[in-house]
Chain A
Amino acid sequence: MVRRRIVIVGLGALLLTGAGSVVGLRHGSDHVAAAPAAATPVDRAADSIARAQQRLRDVPGDYDSWAALGGAYLERARVTADPTYYPKAEGALRRSLIIHRDGNATALIGLGALANARHDFATARDLARSALRIDSYSADAYGVLADAQTQLGNAAAATPAVQHMLDLRPGLAAYARASYDLELHGRLTDAESLMRRALDAAVDPADIAFCRYQLGELDWQTGRLEAASAEYAAGRAADPSYLPLLEGQAKVAAALGRTGEALAGYADLTARYPAPMYLLEYADLLRAAGQPARADDQLALADAALRLFAANGGTDDLGTAQLALAQNRPADAVRAARHEWSRRHFVDVADVLGWALHEAGSDAQALPDARRASALGARNAGYLFHLGMIELSLGKKADARRDLSAALALNPHFSPRYAPVAQAALDRLGAP
């Protein structure tokens, strides 16, 4: 136990270094904004924290401002990837509820958003419903509900929640969720058009960067590398500190064969923000580039990050399963994915569970899960690749040919490690 704590503290220091450099980068961007006569929109999200803090120094009983402060901290946490904003958010939101326990929809919405951030989607759903009982016209509450239902895999409940949000308050937050909902249903053109609306409505630099990143992702998913690259670059022009854009640029560089640039990009990104998701991608790229030892280092870091998340009360068995797969521990991956599946039937979970079962040699069991990942109609090269490989193992050659071809047709660069695997399998399969 003591030993584990030391590991956690060590990783904590690493994370702190990352967070510090995030702030450093922000200062860099401030420098740009301060150039004479330069005109960038005001970052009101950052401003709102200072405003609420000052307000609460003057009127500590203002529960609305406590709730607003909590919400503002959550937005900062999302944008900056600085985890220290979460306890601050929780403190402010609980303070608001203590001052004003009954009928405090804003605080419940904030706590719901916090629960979503912690992957406690069932709690988030319940908090959103509680908020809606108080204020049935709250678009924000529907936003929390939509996020929770989406991640719980309740697509039939998620879409109406998003529609409520659109009907109550069309704007960036609603458009972004509508775009994601459409994307999950495979309606990529509509998803892009909604994300463009979101971009039109975006004001804060970080919000513009978010929309640009998602537009880039929609391009990336369908193999449009140049368009994706342009969106990521436009996002960085708006907010150079928005980290997901570094991931986008790194994976485009990898797809274009600029491996050195891609590796440098991932090294930079994971130094700033050692998220398991990024570390796993980095490891895949290192492995594809013939650097297995460095790849293993990244996986060890991802493992530490996930342990820290769990030690702090978070639950991410999806991430745990993905890491186990990357470390060639298929039995652990199946166990973790099943845990996650018992909590939520989201398409990503179905996909990872299917792939874990395949890697564990249980292809017959894997097939239904892999099919479930695409049941809503999602057009995702990774899902199709997994499905095709499972079908191949089961001797369903025609199905495998169809789905592996579809994966590569959708995005021939979907993974530096697995796109070549898909191509090789297709080559072996030959023409029908």
Chain B
Amino acid sequence: MRRPTARRVGAVTVALGVAFAGAVAALGPIDAGASSHREAPLIAADPAVDNTDVYAFVSPDRPGYVTFIANFIPFEEPNGGPNFYPFATDATYNIKVDSDGDAKPDAVFRWTFHNIDKRGGNTFLYNNGPVTSLDDPNLLFRQTYTLESSFGGRPFHTRIANAPVAPSRVGKASMPNYQQLRDQAVTTLPGGWKTFAGQADDPFFLDLRVFDLLYGGDLSETGQDTLAGYNVNTIALQVPFQDVAMNGDPVRNPNIGVWSTAERPRVRISGQSTGGGGWVQVSRLGNPLVNEVVVPANLKDAFNSLPPDRDASIAPVVARVKDPEVPKLIQAIYGLPAPATPRNDLVEIFLTGITTKAGGPIKADLNSQLNNADVISSSFRPSEMLRLNLSIKPTATPNRLGVLGGDLQGFPNGRRLTDDVVDIELQALEGAAQTGKLVSALAKGDGVDANDNAFSSTFPYLALPNVGAVNKGGGTGAGAQTNAIGAAHVQPQTQAPSSSAAPAERAPSTAPAAVSRPSTHNVGLTIAGATGGAGVAALVLLGGAWFMRRRRPVPVTPPGPVPGPDMQDH
């Protein structure tokens, strides 16, 4: 996410209509004649390459397959009519996987988009009648994509060309059955791959005001999903484990690191030609909210420009991970002591993966490539990416707090659509992984625990795009559901994560109801099959971590059904 404005604290809250100061009040210190020199746009909108979120999880309905989702173009307002949001055609969209831990991609999946524009220059119409299929002649502006892959640094091979993109959902009249369009945009490829590109409901749920504390605000006014009602553009891919595991062996080497990028061709003007070759990374994203809570403001541009294998060489980024700002602000506001630094627990979460092999304080082996049996430890480089242990089976009852909630399949072990990453990261920053103390004042987190729309049970899992204005209760027709993905669809052979060693038990609450206080107890979590072939390796996670359980706010929208494939879009 390069233009951090997008999802960064700054740019948020509900969009107002543009109130143009039509009448001019007073003359400023510059007159209209100032532009006798060329003035080009400086801060131009470039949302198409703005990377908002990355997800990576073991497919709950398809054992042996991993799903990657990368979202772009924040704050797509449905508005039911004039707006549509194409992918950039002058950029590539990439999902990259590092399986051997050297911080360089071992698998790259590259999407390139193309326009099919039948509007003919004298109309702006997106469609001129109901659109009932992706090749409906009424759809005047369409996009297709080429998906290529490269493994081990070898040349790219085209996996599919001219694959259809699910269009922007411009309204119920124009697209009476959007589910059908979504289904047609899921393409199955040889090798069992599934790919999707198109518009979807923004699955991220949070109240961005939680970050107001960075600017002198407090946490008292949260609980509203800032992204409710907005759409994003998604690329999604499902591939067999062996296609991304080191040496093609997910049993010995189940740990991978994932990030996405948007890139544009390199251009040179200094020489004689304007070509150049190669690509320039314009945005990058692995862990959620890394631009907000980890990377210092003045390093965001650097961070978004650099590949992960340079991360460890950028001392200020590493320093900020070890000495984060958020706990200090919380200390200033709430009087809660910030955990002692250096925060090597956060280094594990963001830079190495959770492992006992890098000298970090968390006594568990969860998801670092260092835990792959075939890894060459000397080639390992700490880097910021989303790390996932593929051997942890999906659970039928995902906990939104992921690993901190005793559910090892969730963030920071990969990221599922339902993981409440804001609450998890806040607690992690306060040292939940290191000190065992949960912060009661933060127990509510951002007060948003689930997405406003229910996720689907099958690939690409995302809710359909919202229709209707954001501020007028648009929605997709799919209600909120905390543990939506595949709750009823998890394959029978999947095991629940073995968090049964110490069942949660509730301590008496002494806090007022409004601010429920997490109860705490020791829990020994075991990770099944986390390391190569050794069967069940029982590892104590978070050495006496505190399991937190708390009151959940009543969802604004009652839980709705999981939309099935035949569910109508109205």
Query: What string of 1s and 0s marks CB contacts (under 8 Å) between B284-325 and chain A?
Result: 000000000000011101100100000000000000000000
The 8 Å CB contact of A203, one of B31, B46, B297, is: B46
Pair B267/A276 contact, Cβ less than 8 Å: no
Are B36 and A51 in touch, CB under 8 angstroms? no
> Which applies to chain A's interface (DSSP): helix, strand, loop or mixed?
helix
- Determine whether the beta carbon of A47 is less than 8 Å from that of B15: yes
Q: Is the Cβ of B125 less than 8 Å from the Cβ of A15? A: no
Chain B, range 77-95, C-beta contacts under 8 Å to A? 77, 81-85, 88-90
CA distance A275 to B90 in the complex (A): 35
Q: Is A154 part of the binding interface, using a Cβ–Cβ cutoff of 8 Å?
A: no
Assembly CA distance A82 to B32 (angstroms):
7
B215 touches A59 (CB 8 A): yes
Does any Cβ of A come within 8 Å of B28's Cβ? Answer: yes
Contact of B269 among A135, A151, A162 (CB under 8 A): A162
Secondary structure call for the B interface: loop
Complex partner residue of A37 from B18, B126, B264, B302, CB under 8 angstroms: B126
A275 touches B33 (CB 8 A): yes
Is B11 in contact with A207, judged by CB distance below 8 angstroms? no
Contact with B along A144-163 (1 / 0, CB 8 A): 10010011000000011011
**Nearest Cβ in chain B — how far from A158, in angstroms?**
11
**A178 close to B (CB within 8 Å):** yes
* Residues of chain B contacted by A181 (CB below 8 angstroms): 269
Inside 8 A of B89's CB, which chain A residues have their CB?
A: 200
Docked complex Cα distance between A30 and B507 (Å) = 59
A41:B83 contact, CB within 8 angstroms: yes
- Say whether B42 contacts A204, CB under 8 Å: no
Chain B residues with Cβ below 8 Å from A41 are 83-85
Which residues of A190-223 have CB atoms within 8 Å of chain B's CB atoms?
Answer: 190, 193-194, 197, 200-204, 206-207, 210
The contact of A207 among B2, B23, B44, by CB within 8 Å, is: B44
B217 at the interface (CB under 8 A from A): yes
- Chain A 30-48: CB-based contact to B (< 8 A → 1; otherwise 0): 0011101111111111111
* Chain B residues whose CB sits within 8 angstroms of the CB of A371 once the complex forms: none
Smallest CB-CB separation from A178: which chain B residue? B269
- Is the CB–CB distance between B41 and A140 below 8 Å? no
Q: Which residues of A contact B266 (CB under 8 A)?
A: 166-167, 170
Q: Which residues of B contact A277 (CB under 8 A)?
A: 33, 35-36
**What is the CA–CA distance of A312 and B26 in the complex, to the nearest angstrom?**
12
Determine the chain A residues whose CB is within 8 A of the CB of B27 once the complex forms: 12, 15-16, 83-84, 308, 312
Q: What is the distance, in angstroms, from A144's C-beta to the closest C-beta of chain B?
A: 7
With A39-B170, A200-B89, A277-B33 known as contacts, the answer to whether A176 contacts B41 (CB < 8 A) is: yes
Number of interface residues of A (CB under 8 A): 128
From A33, A59, A134, B216 is in contact (CB under 8 Å) with: A59
Q: Check A316/B267 contact, CB under 8 A, given A20-B22, A51-B15, A210-B41.
A: no
Q: Is A341 an interface residue (CB 8 A)?
A: no
Task: Give a binary string over B47-75; 1 marks a CB under 8 Å from any A CB, 0 the rest.
Answer: 11100000000000000000000000000
- Chain A residues positioned under 8 Å from B298 (CB to CB): 103, 105, 134-135
CA distance A55 to B273 in the complex (A): 45
Interface residues of A (CB under 8 A from B): 12, 15-16, 18-20, 23, 26-27, 32-34, 36-55, 58-59, 61-65, 68, 71-72, 74-75, 77-78, 81-88, 90, 103, 105-106, 113, 116-119, 134-140, 143-144, 147, 150-151, 159-160, 162-163, 166-178, 180-182, 190, 193-194, 197, 200-204, 206-207, 210, 234, 237, 273-277, 302, 305-306, 308-309, 312-314, 316, 318-319, 322, 346, 348
Can you give 9 A-B contacts (C-beta < 8 A)? A37-B127, A37-B128, A62-B10, A68-B5, A78-B35, A87-B28, A194-B269, A201-B88, A314-B30
| Nearest 5 pairs of A and B residues by beta carbon | A39-B126, A87-B28, A61-B216, A137-B301, A137-B302
Knowing that A135-B299, A150-B38, A314-B31 are A-B contacts, what are 15 other residue pairs whose CB atoms are under 8 Å apart, sorted by A's residue number? A39-B170, A40-B82, A42-B83, A50-B15, A59-B215, A59-B217, A62-B9, A64-B8, A84-B25, A168-B280, A197-B90, A201-B90, A202-B44, A276-B36, A316-B34
